[in-house]
Amino acid sequence: MTALLPAAILLDPVVPPWVALLVVAFVAVAAWQTYRQCPLNRRQRLGLWLLRVAAVLILAWLLMLPKRRTVKVEQEMPVLAVALDISASMTDNPGNFPQTRRDRALEFLQDSKTQRVLARYRVVRFHLGAVAEEVSDEGGEPVFNAPRSNLGAGINRITERLRAENLAGILLLSDGLDHSGERLTPASLAVPVYIPQLELPFEPPPEPPEDWYIADIAHPRMMVVNWKANVDVLVRRRGRGVAEFPIHLRQGGNLLRTSMVSFAEGDAFQQVSFTIEPTQIGQTVYHVEIGPGGDADPENNQRDFLVDVADPRNRVLYLEGVPRWEFKFLKRALLSEKNYQLSAYVQGGDGAFINFDELSGKAGGQVPAFTAESLAEFRVIILGDMPASALTAEDCANLRQFVDKGGGLLFYGAKASYGPGGLASSPGLAELMPAVSEAGAAMREGRFTAALSAKGRTHPALSELASATQLPPILSFWGPVRTSEFSSALLVTADGSPVLVTRPYGQGRVGMVLSDSLWRWQLGGEAGGSERSLYGRFVTQLVHWLAPSEKDLGGTTLLQAVLSHTQAELRQKVTIGAVYDPGENREQAGVTCKITLPDGRVLVYPMLAATLGTDVGLTRPVEGFKCFFTPQEPGQYQIVLHTADGTQEATATILAEKPENERTGEPLNRAYLGQLAEDTGGACLEWPRRHNVFDTLRHQSREVALVKEYPVWNRWWWLLVLLTLFCAEWWWRRRVDLV
């Protein structure tokens, strides 16, 4: 139902109304006095005066800037949220009824009585799984495969999503097996929840025999050789008695650790921690096994997990002068990259470097000697804001040799480093510098626009920033500087002053940051749904590009295997990529993928030429080959890639596991559903009385006023009227011989 209220005229005067009226009165009196002195008859005098006053009145009216407001009042239908639990437990049928909970939920929604009730509301539909997702009516048949249902959190999200709506209630179709444990917010408690019970009460079957099983394993997916890490194993059981049994950790058939698991009376789970320390590079499969004895289901007493072990020489050395904000945030960004091991040092008051340990957070130790052997243990070296005295001539020579052989070097300094007496003035480092200071160079402070240069937008060192529509401003940059003929400015200010400059040197790469305020990008928080800040992505991507491994990956003739998932669930598609560049013989080249299944059978897949990227975990596009595989049985799948000429081979491993799901065999949680309905003022009724849940469902529409305003002073016909009045007065004046 719609009602239209009388329209109103609103004024927004350019000048005070009394001033406009005073001007109109003055013009009217002056015009009348003027025409009185002219040889005109009364009709002519009055006509000309009216034309003049009418034009002035219209001008005064237009100076009021009038607007017309219309108000339309509509009756808005109330909203009813329909929340359908799509967890796997909805397909359970512990009572052996003719219909599962899923069947009854769908039947209830399609029932004619339910449809008549829903037709009186504006229905908003949600699917409840790990999260609550809004769906459309045309979404098709729902798939009940969510591993868990977080009902409390889902209802809170629904209420928050519809907080501005005229929400009458929530129709919840669920088995009540909530995994969130989240309490309803005050706003959610104010929205009644209506619940038809999807399962009749039944006598539960006898308690099954006790069963202990490995429920979950928390472990690092990527490590470095000789690093130590914790593996947490969650052991659950069905039963209540006292029990104690061993748990073993094995690798390659060798027993690594053994511990004991103890269950007291009524304990539902126990957590056991192991320490692993891989000693070989590559993919390492670990095996966890429990030995409870007399277990109802021995098949769930063991579980495998996979760890990618990286090169121990994948390390970054960071030397900084006096600690500053850049040190804090750059170090934090690099420590978040588990592919790299950071060794960070700051310069003490006596000029000596002190190690800042990344694990303990404590200071201690000495900086590695800048010998060729010690520098070879690192992939990238970062030099912060330090004077030239921080490094000896021999150190600089070894550093040049390090870069020449393929190492990465990043200058991340400021006044102490780029000014007089800084690292930039060191003869041993001058030839490495992508840019040198010119006369009068200083740290300029202010607010400057930062943008990627034409080359920076396509450069792999800044690929994570290329998608940003606008970068945050910077508050400082060092200038003026002169870049070398081999350098490229990737990040610049609005006037073209370089902020990030890179250059090749021998087989290595050198980068130079000319600002000490980029760390403020950290304060901008997350961007684009990413878990890392803009600053973190900038730093880690730059270090990735400087590292030799990133350079070699772009155009290598060495065959490498990359996977979208090293651990996958059954029936989950896995992308298998081969990084391989055969050069000019690409058309004749090819790669074959051979997969050995857990039962020993072998499948062979041809691989097609393709561009590899983020789909297989690479940070930038790389030309290679690709195929797809879907594991159908749990276990280890051995991947072997062969080039067409048979000269190269690469291996990888996929560990496939049964997907976690919520099919527990537990009956409907009537206590939870009943309490939920009681707390919110709704209703929870058994299946035979299911349609009575709507008895207390309110239907109260609300009035919504739609206000529309539009100006009437800027219409074209006002100008036409004014021109007509002025032309009519001019014509009449000419007719009676008035100037």
Whether residue 263 lies inside any domain: the answer is yes
Give, in order, the Cα–Cα distances in Å from 623 to each of 39, 167, 323, 581, 639: 97, 53, 42, 7, 20
Predicted pLDDT of residue 661: 58
The angle formed by the CA atoms of residues 332, 481 and 345, to the nearest 5 degrees, is 25
Q: Tell me, yes or no, whether 394 lies in a domain.
A: yes
CB 692 within 8 A of CB 683: yes
Residue 629 within any structural domain of the chain: yes
For residues 95 and 192, state if they share a domain.
Answer: yes
562 domain residue, yes or no: yes
Q: Which of 310, 337, 354 is the last residue of a domain?
A: 310
Query: Residues 485, 396: one domain?
Result: yes
Examine the domain organization and report whether 69 and 128 are in the same domain: no
Query: Can you spell out the DSSP letters for 494-505?
Result: TT--EEEEEEEE
737's CB contacts (< 8 A; 6+ apart) are: none
DSSP string, 537-554: HHHHHHHHHHSHHHHHHH
Same domain, yes or no: 179 and 288: no
- Predicted pLDDT at 33: 85
Residues 347 and 251 occupy one common structural domain: no
Asked whether residue 244 falls in the same domain as residue 273, the answer is: yes
Q: Are residues 306 and 332 in the same domain?
A: no
Residue 530 lies in a domain: yes
User: What CATH number should be reported for the domain holding residue 305?
Assistant: 2.60.40.10
Do 334 and 443 sit in the same domain of this protein?
yes
pLDDT score recorded for residue 687 = 92
Q: Is 471 part of a structural domain of the chain? A: yes
Chain centroid to CA 262: 41
Q: Which CATH number covers residue 334? A: 3.40.50.880
Same domain, 446 and 583: no
> 3-class SS at 727?
helix
Distances (CA, A) of 190 to 72, 155, 156, 176, 193: 30, 12, 11, 20, 9
Q: Are 341 and 416 within one domain? A: yes
Give me the residues paired with residue 286 across strands.
251, 305
d(CA 652, CA 577): 10
**In CATH, what number is assigned to the domain containing residue 162?**
3.40.50.410
State the total domains in the chain.
5
pLDDT < 70 regions, the chain: 1-5, 138-139, 205-208, 221-222, 224, 266, 310-314, 338-339, 349-351, 356-366, 466-469, 507, 523-532, 548-558, 571, 581-588, 617-620, 645, 647, 659-664, 739
Residue 513's SS3 state is strand
Q: Which amino acid is at 37?
A: Q
Task: Tell me the sheet residues that pair with 703.
Answer: 75
Report the distance separating Cα 451 and Cα 462, nearest Å: 11
Residues 69 and 85 in one domain: no
Q: Is residue 632 part of a domain?
A: yes
328 and 454 belong to one structural domain: yes
pLDDT at 361: 42
For the entire predicted model, the pTM comes to 0.41
Decide which of 310, 328, 357 is a domain's last residue: 310
CA 330, 339, 568, 657: dihedral to nearest 10 degrees? -110
Q: Which residue has the tokens 């190269």?
A: 648
Instruction: Judge whether 662 lies within some domain.
Output: no
Print the domain residue range for 303: 211-310
Cα–Cα dist 233/240, whole Å = 20
Q: Which of 310, 344, 368 corresponds to the end of one domain?
A: 310
